[in-house]
């Protein structure tokens, strides 16, 4: 093997071995807030804020964007990631119909996040929610 070929092989090996580290470094920047908050209760607002409108939209919470629906007196709070799974518009809560509706292309989701009407086929991400000590908490 010529010296030049050997150096090329070593250089290629170094690049190949550092690629997973580079990929991990890039992906951890986007995943950090959500992955750190995964499985832990996170405060996203107060019961007072939730009770004012019967819903609470919080952007960039520790679990990411979250839309909590209900009141502090209601038994079951509903919490979803409000990003429509079609193209990412923020869904609205339609209290009368008890569903989430996307204003962009009219997709609809049930209270469990399941698709009721396309064009999307993927459900909304859901969270578990509760009220404790006057705070609204969610966890994924
Ligand atoms: S972005 Fe929601 S239906 Fe298209």
Contacts of 52 (CB under 8 A, 6+ apart): none
Domain ranges (residues) in the chain: 1-37, 42-139
Which atom of ligand 1 is found nearest the CA of 106? 3
Q: Pocket of ligand 1, candidates 84, 115, 116, 123: which has the most ligand atoms within 8 Å of its Cβ, to mutate?
A: 84
Rounded to two decimals, what is the model's pTM?
A: 0.73
State residue 114 phi and psi, 5-degree precision. Answer: -75, 145
Query: Would you place residue 5 in the very low, low, confident or very high pLDDT band (cuts 50, 70, 90)?
Result: low
pLDDT confidence of residue 3? 59
Q: What is the pLDDT of residues 56-111, one digit of tens each?
A: 999 999 899 999 999 988 778 999 999 999 999 999 999 999 999 999 999 999 99
Residue carrying structure tokens 């119909």: 97
Contact between 139 and 41 (Cβ < 8 Å): yes
pLDDT of 20 above 90: no
> Cβ(83) to ligand 1 under 6 A?
no
Whose CA is closest to atom 4 on ligand 1? 105
Q: Write out the two tokens for 85.
A: 């799974």
Expressed in angstroms and rounded, the spacing between residue 90 Cα and the centre of ligand 1 is 8
- 42-139 in CATH: which number? 2.102.10.10
Contacts of 56 (CB under 8 A, 6+ apart): 44, 45, 49, 50, 67, 68, 136
């Amino acid at each position: 093997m010529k010296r030049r070929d050997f150096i090329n092989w070593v250089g290629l090996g170094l690049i190949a071995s550092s690629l997973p580290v580079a990929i991990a470094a890039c992906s951890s920047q986007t995943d950090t807030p959500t992955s750190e908050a995964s499985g832990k209760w996170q405060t996203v607002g107060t019961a007072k804020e939730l009770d004012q409108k019967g819903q609470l939209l919080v952007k960039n919470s520790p679990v990411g964007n979250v839309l909590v629906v209900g009141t502090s007196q209601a038994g079951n709070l509903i919490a979803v990631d409000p990003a429509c799974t079609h193209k990412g518009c923020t869904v609205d809560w339609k209290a009368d119909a008890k569903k989430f509706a996307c204003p962009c292309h009219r997709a609809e989701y049930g209270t469990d996040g399941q698709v009721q009407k396309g064009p999307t086929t993927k459900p909304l991400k859901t969270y578990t929610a509760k009220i404790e000590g006057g705070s609204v908490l969610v966890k994924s």
